[in-house]
Amino acid sequence: MPKVKKQSDLISIIVPVYKIEDYLDRCVQSILSQTYRNLEIILVDDGSPDSCGHLCDDYAKQDKRIKVIHKKNGGLSSARNAGLDICKGKYILFIDSDDYVKPEIVEVLYDNLIETQSDISICDYIIFSDKSESYNSYQKKKFTVSGDKKFDYINPCASHNYCGVSTVQWNKLFKAHIFKTLRFTEGKVNEDEFIVQDEFDQANKISYILEPLYYYYQRPDSIIHQLSIDRLDVVDAWGVKIDFYQHKNLTEYLLPLKEQKLIFLIDFVGHYYHRLKKDSAARKKINSCIEANRALAKELLKSPISHKTKLKIYLLLHSKPLLNLLFRLLKPQSAFARSVD
């Protein structure tokens, strides 16, 4: 194990906890093993119906750095917000309770943030399941960004592959001032997509040190692997992004984001409309979402995007069953489809 160092700045680690009793000890032990020792560890029991709440209390008895919040179930964003409301650290790190981290993650992110005088320090992660692991590869592994260029790294329009590592919350050390006025949008899935542009906007400089220090566990029963009409929250999130860039007059991001917003909606309807035929509430939400984005769809039909995408947009507006049939015949594999099927 790396040599332990004690630093003076308090760092708050916020861990939402819900129905993960089989994984919680792995997560907590990885936090307690950090080489950076001056930690405030906030375990937020989000009304978990299993033994997680009792386990959290037991951990708090074992280590005085651990604080426990017990609250009514409100979802991941609600749990993170509860932690933000009481944390006292100069810096903040989020860790999901079914994941775990390397012993040096806090120290590396902290040292990098201090060295570069940044407001957010970002590391890489390893995606793993019970059957496999996958690793990212990057053109650059250590660099800083500032000004409007920092937004390149959370959008699909630039010629790099940093979007995924930039968007997620749990591989970042934040200066606490980032959350002075920000909180996570509650009641939504894909909550990271709603807030990340505002976090980057609050930062003068963002530093990347892309060592794989975080282990991101993909459970087969996690939200991202389930077919749920709530996944359409992504469309709302991209709407928030579009409004943000319009307000900032950063017009170069708008067309790619508008296209991605419609492509997600097209993918959802194309892959799963037939599987939701008996769910009237889901069908109603799909129809409502399409109507809310009809003007955008018509705008894109007049824009310089591919003919294939225009055909799919046309079918989305005029024949959802035909769009669904087209996808079933051609079986196009979007990343979203692979995550659910």
pLDDT 10s per residue in the chain (341 long)? 445 544 689 999 999 999 999 999 999 999 999 999 999 999 999 999 999 999 999 999 999 999 999 999 999 999 999 999 999 999 999 999 999 999 999 999 999 999 999 999 999 999 988 777 777 777 778 999 999 999 999 986 555 667 888 999 999 999 999 999 999 999 888 889 999 999 999 999 999 999 999 999 987 655 544 567 888 899 999 999 999 999 999 998 999 899 999 999 999 988 888 887 788 888 898 999 999 999 999 999 999 999 999 999 999 999 998 998 888 887 655 544 444 44
Strand partners, 233: none
Q: For residue 84, give the H/E element and its range.
A: helix 76-86
Given a contact cutoff of 8 angstroms between Cβ atoms, the answer to whether 112 and 207 are in contact is yes
HSE at residue 314, side-chain half, CA atoms within 13 A, is: 10
Q: For residue 48, give the H/E element and its range.
A: none
Q: Which amino acid is at 129?
A: S
What is the phi/psi pair of residue 108, to 5°? Answer: -65, -45
CB atoms within 10 A of CB 246: 13
User: Where along the chain do its domains lie?
Assistant: 11-217, 226-340
The hierarchical CATH code for the domain 11-217 is 3.90.550.10
Centroid of chain to Cα 7? 29
Given a contact cutoff of 8 angstroms between Cβ atoms, the answer to whether 208 and 122 are in contact is yes
- Residue 272 CA to residue 229 CA, distance in Å, equals 10
Gyration radius from the chain CA atoms: 21
